Amino acid sequence: MPLRASLLLKPPESEHIDRIREAAADIMARLSRGEDVGGRIASLKAITGHGEFDLDYFESLYSHSNIDEFAREAALPLPRVVPDLTSDELIDRTPCNDRWLARRPILPRPIR
């Protein structure tokens, strides 16, 4: 099913991904030297808009990911609420293959 143009997302700019990658690499290097990275993590949150990245996340990054994968995922826009999303559109947006990262899922409405 073809999706409405408003549901299609442009992939992140490579410069944005590179900036996130550099920031994450800096955080990881400073962590390995035992330096405080709180301010750097706050700056990265401001760049990405993602609030889920905290000290615990970076301390365990290499157990579940790597810097390149992190940068590509963190560069994706936050999911947005689409109140009139149809079932067919939701099914088309369900992650089922490698194209998922290029087509971030959109939630129909917040779950309460």
Q: Compute the average pLDDT of residues 78-86.
A: 82
Check residues 54 and 99 and name the one with the higher pLDDT: 54
Ranges of H-type helices in 1-112: 14-32, 38-48, 55-59, 61-64, 67-74, 87-92
Q: Compute the average pLDDT of residues 37-59.
A: 94
Both 16 and 64 in one domain: the answer is yes
Residue 15 has pLDDT above 50, yes or no: yes
Residue 71 has pLDDT above 50, yes or no: yes
Residues 6 or more apart from 3 whose CB is under 8 A from it? 89, 92, 93
Domain range for residue 91?
79-112
Instruction: List beta partners, residue 111.
Output: none
Residue 22 has pLDDT above 90, yes or no: yes
Convert the pLDDT of each residue in 25-41 to its tens digit: 999 999 999 999 999 99
Both 50 and 94 in one domain: the answer is no
Instruction: List beta partners, residue 81.
Output: 107
Both 37 and 65 in one domain: the answer is yes
The structure's pTM equals 0.71
Q: What CA–CA distances, in Å, run from 75 to 29, 68, 101, 111? A: 20, 11, 10, 24
Q: In this structure, is residue 98 part of a structural domain? A: yes
Structural domain count of the chain: 2
Both 98 and 47 in one domain: the answer is no
